[in-house]
Amino acid sequence: MSGFSSEERAAPFTFEYRVFLKNEKGQYISPFHDIPIYADKDVFHMVVEVPRWSNAKMEIATKDPLNPIKQDVKKGKLRYVANLFPYKGYIWNYGAIPQTWEDPGHNDQHTGCCGDNDPIDVCEIGSKVCARGEIIAVKVLGILAMIDEGETDWKVIAINVDDPDAANYNDINDVKRLKPGYLEATVDWFRRYKVPDGKPENQFAFNAEFKDKDFAIDIIKSTHDYWRALVTKKIDGKGISCINTTVSESPFKCDPDAAKAIVDALPPPCESACTVPTDVDKWFHHQKN
């Protein structure tokens, strides 16, 4: 549907693993900077980083050229989220809205904390389990104001526009009505998911209440403004890679050949022989403990 595609480099669940995004011409692009924020009027693009039910903490690498998706690393180890009873891995398709940025230099009026230095996060609640690196179009329904170790970390609630039930979801109250318990489970998951790693529970603004669609869209638009300031060098990104192929006013814009050279310098594309079973997420998590 979107015209975008992805390409894996190296084997999944290794330090070298990367997922690069391509446009409809097969040219390498940045999922952070080159995928438009809007898929349609009032519809946003979402970059899927983590498929539902999986455990590997994959994310857009904001400091790497072209910002491929890779597995997060902490203390020299690949990161996996624990299976928090009664949940298995992530309980939604998890990802980010492109061309947004939570500015660490901006103190949010709602949370009293600065941004977490990443694109804004999305929890997609539809029935399909999406693929890592997939680009989907989503309807925004609401938002949760999480405070993660003193940083503002907004969590947008959305649904894939291609979901069979998408027409029935237009605001956060529809989620409460049609998926009873799901929003409560979302708060519970975000509150506790770092506890198995020895971290304290996360906190929330607004008493952990979800704000509605209009509020969410206003927050997304503000993070889009911060992203534009970042990619046009009006704000110092302090290590964030703003290399892109489409933002005409950006001093970081490069041509497709230069983008290709960045990718060609890495290990070759992953072949079927290096495919690892999905359950390896869980296995690797137990091995690290």
Task: Give residue 111's identity as a one-letter amino acid code.
Answer: T
Residue 277 confidence (pLDDT): 44
Residue 20 confidence (pLDDT): 98
CATH class of the domain at 5-273:
alpha beta
Residue 29 confidence (pLDDT): 98
Residue pair 9/268 in contact by the 8 Å Cβ criterion: yes
DSSP string, 144-163: EEEEETTEEEEEEEEEETTS
What is the residue whose two structure tokens read 């009032």? 42
DSSP string, 82-134: ---TT--S-SSEEEE-TT----TT-B-TTTSSBB-SSPPEEEE-SSS-PPTT-
Digit-by-digit pLDDT tens for the chain (289 residues) are 469 999 999 999 999 999 999 999 999 999 999 999 999 999 999 999 999 999 999 999 999 999 999 999 999 999 999 999 999 999 999 999 999 999 999 999 999 999 999 999 999 999 999 999 999 999 999 999 999 999 999 999 999 999 999 999 999 999 999 999 999 999 999 999 999 999 999 999 999 999 999 999 999 999 999 999 999 999 999 999 999 999 999 999 999 999 999 999 887 776 643 444 444 454 444 444 4
Is residue 63 within a helix (H) or strand (E), and if so which, with residue range? Answer: none
Strand 203-204 to 135-148 pairing: antiparallel
DSSP string, 203-262: EESGGGPPB-HHHHHHHHHHHHHHHHHHHTTSS--TT----BSS-TT-TTB--HHHHHHH
pTM of the model: 0.93
Residue pair 244/252 in contact by the 8 Å Cβ criterion: yes
CA distances (Å), origin 63, targets 68, 175, 235, 237, 240: 9, 35, 15, 9, 4
Q: What is d(CA 123, CA 131) in angstroms, rounded to the nearest whole number?
A: 14
Q: What is d(CA 210, CA 172) in angstroms, rounded to the nearest whole number?
A: 7
